[in-house]
């Protein structure tokens, strides 16, 4: 039968973080949205550590305060036992590149995902749990029909103007219409369980993720509420299969015995759940969108499903997808293909940057430790970014925890003048990596004005951008245009912030963020001292 309310603007398949993000924003933009989720929430899901960059996305859909009030554990950084030396060292999100929040959250995904889905309903989304999508048809006129079965196994269908595939690894739409490309280097396995009473650091570090390595792989240690800690081990597929017959519990304990830094934290702790196992195979589809549909999160691509990059990429793609779909429906004059190309380009760039860093960190912890930060630096289109800042920015904004046990990439040479910075951090000594607010700045000689699409509220619009030759760009707003004129080499970053505020171009907090990003992204640079 046909649903009694069959006409919608958008149908969303899947109620995870990506589906909730996309549907909530589209509802905020005034669209009539229906969402089908096969499961009944709350349901268990791994992937419990959220990036600090995800907080800004949560704020966009009005759920950040709810997350705060729910009492989820905050994390301010990541502690590592990594490289040739076994001394633990910590990096903090406050040192990341242009990051609005200096913390992330550790969440139980069942209640977290339920919170997002209920928030979607509060924003007007018709979200239906225990509704399994069985088929879809995209007509020549662009009309979408989606068939489903409800909780009582009764069939139904709806029609809409657009379809969002947020069905996760199932990729209901993408799997039918596109080619899935498996990554040959990222075929790993994870085993994990939960402990009560594990030892945690004191003070600000109590909620930090802990990532120690051992000879066959690496561990995650994620503090959760109620004194519960998620503790999992990641190994390559060959090691997993070799030890599977002896029992996963025995292999887990064997790995733990070879990681004394972690074993010490679990002394006296009680295992409170069964052993879980899941394959960790990465992939990407050749297209993320097409006539009448767009794919979000794991339905488009994924790297390591157990980690917080999955949640971050799902919500980031949901934000971009909602803006793209809203633009296509409201502003057809921009051209559907142009808008979808913008979405695919933005999402692929983030995915590929992350994947490149994953490759390197999986390259072997027997290699030279001096190479890790420098390789992170190579993943940014930001001229002159300090290697430590690049590494921390990957961890904070779109990169959480990866390892380096697969030794197909052994080492990377590092210029001698970078060694002191890197050595200092590996010795547990953080260094100053923020913008020098007192130093005079000038526009880079490598910038020019170009044209691109930019987010303007709930839509994309053609916009002039200030673009660096490396590819980095920022929308050329009146404030940025004024900044370009005011940065004459006699004024410091602090001076420029004050002038933007005095001219009423930006409030103080946004003025500071604008100046920070413009300098950090290489569009403006320190004034070179005059030569004698």
The pLDDT tens digits along the chain (532 residues) read: 555 445 899 999 999 999 999 999 999 999 999 999 999 999 999 989 998 888 889 999 999 999 999 999 999 988 888 666 677 878 788 776 556 788 999 999 999 999 999 999 999 999 999 999 999 999 988 899 999 999 999 999 999 999 999 999 989 999 999 999 998 777 788 999 999 999 999 999 999 999 888 888 889 999 999 999 999 998 888 888 989 888 999 999 999 999 999 999 999 999 999 999 988 788 999 999 999 999 999 999 988 654 567 898 999 999 999 999 999 999 999 999 999 999 999 899 888 877 766 665 555 333 333 333 333 333 444 444 454 455 555 544 432 222 222 222 223 333 333 333 333 333 333 333 346 788 999 999 999 999 888 888 899 999 898 988 877 788 888 999 999 999 999 999 999 999 999 999 998 878 887 887 788 778 898 887 766 5
Could you tell me if 166 and 12 are in contact, meaning their C-beta atoms sit under 8 angstroms apart? yes
Q: Which residue has the tokens 């299969």?
A: 241
CA separation (Å) from 517 to 290, 446, 475, 512, 527?
A: 33, 16, 12, 9, 17
CB distance 97 to 41 below 8 Å: no
- Domain 73-105+181-282+362-434: give its CATH code: 3.30.9.100
**21 in Cβ contact with 67 (< 8 Å):** no
The tokens for 109 are 């995904």
Strand ranges, E, within 287-424:
289-290, 293-295, 301-302
What count of other Cβ atoms lies within 10 Å of the Cβ of residue 468? 18
Asked if 13 and 166 count as a contact pair (C-beta separation under 8 A), the reply is yes
| Burial class (CB within 10 angstroms; exposed 0-12, middle 13-18, buried 19+) of 84 | exposed
State the pLDDT at residue 211: 87
What is the reported pLDDT for 295? 98
Eight-state DSSP code of residue 76: -
Give pTM, 2 decimals. Answer: 0.81
* Residue 451 burial (C-beta neighbours within 10 Å; 0-12, 13-18, 19+): exposed
Residue 307, pLDDT score: 52
Fold of 441-526: Enolase-like; domain 1 (3.30.390)
DSSP 331-355: -GGG-HHHHHHHHHHHHHHHHHHHH
Q: How many CB atoms lie within 10 A of CB 142?
A: 13
- Report the alpha-carbon distance of residue 339 to residue 202 in Å, rounded: 48
Structure tokens at 119: 């928030």
Contact criterion met (CB below 8 Å) for 95 and 392: yes
Rounded Cα gap, residues 443 and 389, in angstroms: 21
Residue 2: CB partners within 8 Å, gap ≥ 6?
Answer: 156, 157, 158
Domain borders along the chain are: 7-46+62-67+107-178+287-340, 73-105+181-282+362-434, 441-526
Specify the CATH class of 7-46+62-67+107-178+287-340 in words: alpha beta
Beta bridge partners of 448: 467
Beta bridge partners of 196: 228, 270
Question: Residues with Cβ < 8 Å from 44, sequence gap 6 or more?
Answer: 109, 110
pLDDT value at position 64? 94
């Amino acid at each position: 039968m046909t649903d009694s309310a069959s006409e919608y603007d958008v149908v969303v398949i899947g109620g995870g973080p990506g589906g909730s993000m996309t549907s909530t924003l589209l509802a905020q933009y005034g669209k009539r949205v229906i969402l089908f989720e096969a499961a009944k929430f709350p349901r268990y899901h791994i992937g419990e550590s959220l990036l600090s960059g995800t907080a800004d996305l949560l704020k966009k859909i009005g759920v950040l305060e709810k997350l705060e009030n729910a009492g989820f554990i905050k994390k301010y950084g990541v502690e590592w036992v990594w490289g040739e030396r076994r001394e633990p060292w910590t990096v903090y999100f406050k040192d990341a590149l242009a990051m609005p929040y200096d913390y992330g959250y550790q969440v139980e995904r069942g209640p977290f995902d339920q919170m997002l889905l209920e928030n979607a309903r509060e924003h007007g989304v018709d979200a239906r749990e225990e509704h399994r999508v069985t088929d879809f048809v995209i007509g020549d006129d662009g009309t979408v029909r989606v068939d489903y079965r409800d909780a009582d196994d009764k069939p139904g269908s709806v029609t809409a103007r657009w379809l969002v595939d947020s069905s996760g690894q199932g990729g209901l739409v993408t799997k039918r219409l596109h080619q899935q490309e498996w990554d040959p280097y990222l075929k790993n396995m994870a085993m994990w369980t939960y402990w009560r009473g594990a030892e945690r650091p004191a003070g600000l570090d109590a909620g930090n993720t802990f990532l120690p390595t051992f000879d066959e792989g690496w561990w995650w240690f994620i503090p959760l509420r109620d004194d519960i800690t998620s503790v999992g081990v990641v190994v390559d597929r060959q090691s997993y299969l070799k030890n599977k017959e002896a029992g996963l519990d025995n292999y887990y304990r064997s790995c733990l015995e070879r990681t004394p830094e972690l074993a010490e934290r679990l002394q006296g702790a009680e295992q409170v759940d069964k052993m879980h196992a899941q394959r960790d195979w990465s992939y990407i589809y050749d297209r993320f969108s097409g006539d009448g549909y767009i794919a979000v999160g794991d339905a488009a691509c994924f790297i390591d499903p157990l980690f917080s990059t999955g949640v971050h990429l799902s919500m980031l793609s949901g934000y971009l997808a909602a803006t793209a779909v809203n633009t296509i429906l409201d502003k057809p004059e921009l051209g559907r293909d142009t808008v979808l190309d913008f979405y695919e380009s933005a999402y692929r760039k983030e995915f590929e940057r992350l994947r490149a860093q994953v490759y390197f960190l999986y390259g072997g912890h027997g290699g030279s430790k001096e190479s890790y930060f420098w390789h992170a630096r190579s993943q940014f289109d930001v001229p002159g970014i300090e290697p430590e800042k690049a590494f921390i920015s990957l961890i904070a904004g779109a990169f959480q925890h990866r390892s380096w046990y697969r030794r197909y990439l052994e080492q990377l040479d590092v210029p001698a003048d970078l060694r002191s910075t890197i050595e200092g951090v590996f010795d547990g000594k953080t260094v100053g990596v923020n913008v020098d607010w007192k130093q005079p700045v000038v526009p880079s000689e490598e910038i020019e004005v170009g044209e691109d699409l930019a987010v303007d509220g709930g839509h994309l619009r053609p916009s002039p951008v200030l673009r660096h030759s490396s590819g980095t760009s920022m929308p050329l707003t009146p404030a940025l245009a004024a900044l370009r004129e005011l940065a004459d080499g006699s004024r410091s970053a602090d001076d420029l912030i004050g002038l933007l505020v005095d001219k009423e171009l930006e409030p103080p907090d946004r003025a500071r963020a604008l100046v920070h990003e413009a300098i950090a992204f290489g569009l403006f640079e320190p004034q070179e001292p005059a030569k004698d």
